[in-house]
Amino acid sequence: MLILYGTPLSSPANKIRFLLNYLAIPYEYKTVNLAAGEQKQADFLKINPYGKVPAIDDNGFKLAESNAILRYLADKHSSALYPKNLEERAIVEQWLDFAANHISLATSKVMYNTYFYRLANTAKDERSLQDGFLWLERYLPILEQQLTKHRYIAGNQLTIADFSLLAALDVAELIKLNLAAYPHLNTWRQQLMKEAFYQNCHSCYAASFKQCVGTLFEDVKV
Ligand SMILES: N[C@@H](CCC(=O)N[C@@H](CS)C(=O)NCC(=O)O)C(=O)O
């Protein structure tokens, strides 16, 4: 059976769960304790040599990087979530990259310098925090524009780019992102969050966060 290595606080790992749930692919979920450094131990380095989650072991085939895993699984299961048509696929690639390089990177900077730096016992990087917010201010309107034109991020069909973006924006409540200012983006997100593929992962990221580490942060209110 497919094994997914992840942790509930990892948005890249959660996006794989969205896909696995959506496609009803049976899998075993193995939680990697990042705080204890399990991802850098020899056993896990055999799964992913650079020691990060998510990673999968698909009957001996090992793969890391969340977007590579999304592509592999969607292709393996011949899913319309990753179109075969060259141009349609290229558009999905464009938004997968946009979500990774502009949105996920920005929300990670903000999350890290709001919460995770305290868990990692490192200093807060104010510059990085401000950069994260600046990027979101710059790039969320692009998503809003895109979703004004059609129902999903890469067109009128749900694709793996939506899962990637949904996971990148999962921290919105925790970083107090005012998504109501982007009505199409907000509606897109609220609707997807109601779906079984999402709810079978978690009710919302903030609730998961609170359950895992929330007591350490008196400012987390969900
Ligand atoms: N680009 C990677 C990012 C993976 C990543 O940064 N994973 C984090 C958790 S969200 C991790 O494993 N951190 C532990 C570490 O760096 O030691 C992906 O999309 O899979």
Which amino acid would we find at residue 128?
A: S
- Residue from 53, 70, 160 to probe ligand 1 pocket by mutation (most atoms less than 8 Å from CB): 53
| pLDDT for the residue 119 | 83
Instruction: Tell me, yes or no, whether 35 and 70 share the same domain.
Output: yes
Q: Is residue 221 part of a domain?
A: no
Where does a domain end: 76, 105, 126? Answer: 76
55-58 and 27-31 beta bridge pairing: unpaired
pLDDT bracket for residue 215 (50, 70, 90): confident
pLDDT in tens, 160-193: 999 999 999 999 999 999 999 999 999 999 999 9
CATH code of the domain in which 171 resides = 1.20.1050.10
Burial class, 33, CB count within 10 angstroms (exposed 0-12 / middle 13-18 / buried 19+): exposed
- Mean pLDDT estimate for the chain: 95
Coil vs helix vs strand at 19: helix
Q: Is residue 119 part of a domain?
A: yes
Report the alpha-carbon distance of residue 35 to residue 119 in Å, rounded.
8
Backbone angles phi, psi at 50, to 5 degrees: -105, 15
Instruction: Tell me, yes or no, whether 96 and 196 share the same domain.
Output: yes
164 lines ligand 1 (CB under 6 A): no
Report the alpha-carbon distance of residue 67 to residue 127 in Å, rounded.
27
For the CA of 9, the closest atom of ligand 1 is: 10
Residue with CA nearest ligand 1 atom 2: 65
Percent of the chain with pLDDT over 70: 98
Q: Is residue 34 part of a domain?
A: yes
Instruction: Tell me, yes or no, whether 39 and 90 share the same domain.
Output: no
Instruction: Tell me, yes or no, whether 125 and 206 share the same domain.
Output: yes
pLDDT bracket for residue 114 (50, 70, 90): very high
Q: Is residue 222 part of a domain?
A: no
> Which helix or strand (DSSP H or E) is residue 94 part of?
helix 86-98
Mean pLDDT, residues 100-107 taken together: 98
| pLDDT for the residue 35 | 86
Residue with CA nearest ligand 1 atom 11: 52
Instruction: Tell me, yes or no, whether 154 and 212 share the same domain.
Output: yes
Cβ atoms of residues 95 and 67 within 8 Å = no
Mean pLDDT, residues 43-64 taken together: 97
CATH code of the domain in which 68 resides = 3.40.30.10
Report the alpha-carbon distance of residue 85 to residue 128 in Å, rounded.
39
Q: Is residue 81 part of a domain?
A: no
The closest alpha carbon to 141, from 179, 110, 105, belongs to 179
- The radius of gyration of the chain's CA atoms, rounded to the nearest angstrom, is 17
Boundaries of domain holding 190: 86-216
Percent of the chain with pLDDT over 90: 91
Q: Which residues contact 153 (CB under 8 A, 6 or more apart)?
A: 95, 99, 143, 146, 147, 159, 161, 162, 165, 188
Q: Is residue 44 part of a domain?
A: yes
Ligand 1 geometric centre to CA of 19 (Å) = 18
48 lines ligand 1 (CB under 6 A): no
Neighbours of 68 (CB within 10 A): 12
Residue listed under structure tokens 């600046």: 134
The closest alpha carbon to 39, from 28, 29, 50, belongs to 50
Query: Does position 5 have pLDDT exceeding 60, yes or no?
Result: yes
Q: Is residue 19 part of a domain?
A: yes
pLDDT bracket for residue 142 (50, 70, 90): very high
For the CA of 65, the closest atom of ligand 1 is: 20
8 lines ligand 1 (CB under 6 A): no
| pLDDT for the residue 220 | 63
Instruction: Tell me, yes or no, whether 71 and 108 share the same domain.
Output: no
pLDDT bracket for residue 48 (50, 70, 90): very high
Report the alpha-carbon distance of residue 22 to residue 172 in Å, rounded.
22
71 lines ligand 1 (CB under 6 A): no
79 lines ligand 1 (CB under 6 A): no
Structurally, the chain folds into a number of domains equal to 2
Instruction: Tell me, yes or no, whether 72 and 103 share the same domain.
Output: no
Instruction: Tell me, yes or no, whether 190 and 102 share the same domain.
Output: yes
Instruction: Tell me, yes or no, whether 115 and 41 share the same domain.
Output: no
Query: Does position 86 have pLDDT exceeding 80, yes or no?
Result: yes
Query: Does position 222 have pLDDT exceeding 60, yes or no?
Result: no
169 lines ligand 1 (CB under 6 A): no
Can you say how many angstroms the Cα of residue 193 is from the centroid of all Cα atoms in its chain? 13
Where does a domain end: 76, 101, 125? Answer: 76
173 lines ligand 1 (CB under 6 A): no
Q: Is residue 14 part of a domain?
A: yes
Where does a domain end: 56, 76, 96? Answer: 76
For the CA of 66, the closest atom of ligand 1 is: 20
Mean pLDDT, residues 49-71 taken together: 98
10 lines ligand 1 (CB under 6 A): yes
Instruction: Tell me, yes or no, whether 123 and 194 share the same domain.
Output: yes
